[in-house]
Each structure stands twice: as structure tokens, then as C-alpha cells.
Structure 1
Amino acid sequence: MLVARYSAVAHRTAALLGAGDEAEDVVQEAFVKAFRHLAGFRRDAAFKPWLLRIVANQTHTTTRARGRRGELTLRIGAQPELRVPDDPEGAVIATDRRARLLDAVRALPEREREAVVCRYFLQLSEAETAEVLGCPLGSVKSRTSRGLARLRKEVGRELS
């Protein structure tokens, strides 16, 4: 039941944090580790942040092992559009903007990228993000703020 419920967000987390083509393996290993350590899970805690922290740690292990820390393959977890856009030109512009934003997110320093991804792509709260990343709440706030400032600067530079 837990695998069915959290598989999609676990895959999205692994992909957004840099697992790329190895996201499936990362998630599978994370669920195995979660199962093995289920006895240590605090029943009063939320399961999702606990699992996503395992996914994040496994993603770091995997990316370090392959030696590509800086590379990030972002996948948007949104469902594909099934309708033909009313405004093809607008759709092309939106796709281009999305691609430029994802490129800018990929270029962020790792800690800022992780915070921005958790907060805005995975829509986690600041507390959940802190739990997933294993850092203090204040660090999540400052990393997110710095990451967003860099993104605003980068987007502003592209529009000029």
C-alpha cells in the first residue's frame, strides 16, 4: 500500500534531485531501505518526509557513485496535455520558458537546487523540506531564498 501511495512522488523526487535514468533503481533501493528500517520509524512522524529523505540520500549516493554531481535531469511530474492547444504560438513560448527555467534550476548550487526542488517542484512545506534534506528549518529558508534570487537574476538577464 505504501509503495502504491508514494511511488510517484518518490520517482519525481529522485529525478528532480539528479537520479536521471537511474531514478527507478534509486526508488526501488529507497523502498527496500525503508522496509528494512521500518521498525525505527517513529509512529508519530509523517511517513512521506521520512521516505523522501531516504530517496534523497539514495539519490546522493547514486550520483556520487557515477561521478556526475553537477548534472541534473529534471522531469516535470505533470501529466501530459491531451488536448491540442488553442494557441500554438503561446504553447511554444510556454515550453521554451519552462525549458529555460529548468536549465536555470539545473545551474543552481546543489543545496539551493535541492531546496527549490523540494519546495516548488515537489510542493513540500518548509518543515518537510528540512526533514527530507536533513537540515535545520532556517537553512531551508535561506537556501530557498538564495536559490530564488539567483533564478530571478537569471530570468531577468534572459529577458533583457
Structure 2
Amino acid sequence: MVIGLCAIFHKVFEIRKPSKRLQRGKLRMVAFAVSIIATVILVWGFYAYLKRCPIDKEFTWGEAMLFATYVFFILFWVYGVVPHQWLTWADSELNWRPDRFIVGPELPWTGEQGIVEWALPFTMTYLVIRDVIAVVIYGIALAGNVVCWRHWQNRGVEK
């Protein structure tokens, strides 16, 4: 009796209908896209100020605090909001969970395994891909941080 119920339970949840969003063909990634657009606008503001700020300018206390707050907000946004929006989108809309495996298409020489499952000596889940993309986002942010520092320090140097 219990084994029969377990088999029915697994059979029912094995065949799932796609979500309504997938049926309509609309995956909404508005929050992640807006966070990227906001990042571009914030960095553009930094470079707009960089071009008009001379190297020998003496900053007042208020200007220094205002710009420090602006830079802190950029760092908060890039290192906090953008990765969070990616992880939220991947978890909810893309449904990248630890129980979803990347298998790939079946080819004649792979047997009953998918090409990814056949080629890799380990199992790969969508959760791993999600986290790797988050690490790449952090890496891009760190590289952009270094580039912005370099441009700020070399703003008076002729090329």
C-alpha cells in the first residue's frame, strides 16, 4: 500500500505542466534588467564627474562626503543588489534548483545519457551554474572597481 502510494506520488510529480509564464513564453526579468541599467547610469554619473573634475581641485568637506556617499551607493548596488537580483531571478523565474541536472541532448554514442552527463565525470546542477554566474558578476564588479580607481587616479595624466 505504502509503496503504491509512493509510486503514484513520484509519477504525479514527475510529469509537471510548465508554469503559466512559460506557457505564455514570457520570462520576466524586469528587476535584474533594471538593476543592470541602474548600474550603467550610476557608473556613467561617475565618469561624467570625472571628466569635469581637475586633478588639483580642493574638495570641501561637503563635496567629499557627497561623493563618498555616491561611491558607497555604487558599491552597495553593484556588490549587493545586482547579484541578489540575479540569484532571485534564477531561483524563481528560471527555476534553477539543486534537483535539476544539466543533462543535454541524447546522441547516438552517449547511450541513454545526455551529452553533458556523458562527457563530465560529475553531475552538474543548475544551482552550480547559477552560483558560477553570481561569481562572474562579482568578478566583473571587482574589475570595474579597479578600472574606475585607475581612471580616477590618472585623470590629470596625458596619454
When the two structures are superposed, what TM-score results if normalisation uses the length of structure 1?
Answer: 0.28
Larger helix share, 1 or 2? 1
Flag the structure with more relative contact order, 1 or 2, with Cα contacts below 8 A and sequence separation at least 6.
1
When the two structures are superposed, what TM-score results if normalisation uses the length of structure 2?
Answer: 0.28
